[in-house]
Amino acid sequence: MPQNAFHPGRPWLDLDGEPINAHGGGVLFHGGQYYWYGEARPRGPSNQDARIGVSCYRSEDLYHWKSLGIALKVVEDESHPLVSGCKIERPKVIYNAKTGKFVMWWHHDRKGWGHAGALAGVAVSDSPQGPFTFVEVLQPNGRMFRDCTVFMDVDGAAYLVFASDANANLVFCRLDDTFTKPTGIQCTQFHGRYMEAPCVFHHEGRYYFLGSDCTGWAPNEARSAVAPALFADWKELGNPCLGEGSETTFGAQSTFVLPVAGKPGRFIFMADRWVPEDLAASTYVWLPIEFRKVPGREAPRPFIRWADSWSL
Ligand code: DGJ
């Protein structure tokens, strides 16, 4: 296998030779390094509850990842929201230059509640690899909070984007200046479209959305959309995937769109190929995003096609 290449859907080992354990994750670029955060899942069955926490890996080139350990750990204290057995899903981290803090958000559910509580979790750290200190769990402006991402806009403002209203709608909610609290500035989008796995990115003056349908751990057809501003009306652009496997997002579900540092216009679509009976065995599908003008449409459309292996 070529060293400097991505091999979507195949086992991916870290620099210690262990399978990378960072599911439903996202990547932060900071200080010339990439940091990949994700759900650390124990091996074996019945691991749909958080038993470890959120892992962190570091890379300079996006191909080779060093494990930095667990950035946010579950605890044994039954009275604490982070007690082992709670749910910690889809963690995302952003850096706040004003406070010098790294801020993690995730979908949280209390132990024994399944996904019924629909909470957001927030934690902060002075360094990218943690340890992150738990701040609180909450429902932003009283809204249910499930699949989520955090997006930093070109003007430095940050937004939570999350599945709400029993997954029927997506909410965009601006964070305060510390990125640790929601403000009341929010809008509801994609009414009744049951979008999960939201990803937001900015390209050539437009905002793009990639996400999924809502079918549990089973893969489904991906969604894409474009808007001139985050709070404008989003226009759906259909399934961005092309070719064989496109109707199931190549057996995977989106988790993040990663802008490649120093390469404007290059984005990596990050997705999870879930193995629900053994979530730790889930693999990663990373593919390049292409943009193409489509007749009759002003904005270029994002497309994703399968590659057995590929390089930047
Ligand atoms: C789909 C979500 O995208 C996942 O993060 C997880 O919550 C599963 N549903 C659970 O069924």
- Per-residue pLDDT 10s for the chain (312 aa) are 447 999 999 999 999 999 999 999 999 999 999 999 999 999 887 689 999 999 999 999 999 999 999 999 999 999 999 999 999 999 999 999 999 999 999 999 999 999 999 999 999 999 999 999 999 999 999 999 999 999 999 999 999 999 999 999 999 999 999 999 999 999 999 999 999 999 999 999 999 999 999 999 999 999 999 999 999 999 999 999 999 999 999 999 999 999 999 999 999 999 999 999 999 999 999 999 999 988 877 889 999 999 999 999
pLDDT in the model for residue 103: 98
Residue 267 alpha carbon to ligand 1 centre in Å: 24
pLDDT in the model for residue 287: 98
Q: Total domain count for the chain? A: 1
| 249 in a structural domain | yes
Residue 222 alpha carbon to ligand 1 centre in Å: 14
| 311 in a structural domain | no
| 199 in a structural domain | yes
Q: Ligand 1: residues whose CB is within 6 Å?
A: 24, 89-90, 147, 196-197, 216-217, 253
pLDDT in the model for residue 1: 47
| 293 in a structural domain | yes
| 225 in a structural domain | yes
| 13 in a structural domain | no
| 37 in a structural domain | yes
Closest ligand 1 atom to the C-alpha of 212?
3
Residue 115 alpha carbon to ligand 1 centre in Å: 9
Measured CA to CA, the distance from residue 19 to residue 12 in angstroms comes to 6
Residue 78 alpha carbon to ligand 1 centre in Å: 24
- Domain that includes residue 113, residue range: 23-305
pLDDT in the model for residue 2: 47
- Asked if residue 70 lies in contact with residue 88, where contact means CB atoms within 8 angstroms, the answer is no
| Residue closest by Cα to atom 9 of ligand 1 | 216
pLDDT in the model for residue 3: 77
List the CATH number of the domain containing 231. 2.115.10.20
Closest ligand 1 atom to the C-alpha of 115?
7
| 8 in a structural domain | no
pLDDT in the model for residue 25: 98
| Residue closest by Cα to atom 10 of ligand 1 | 216
Residue 112 alpha carbon to ligand 1 centre in Å: 16
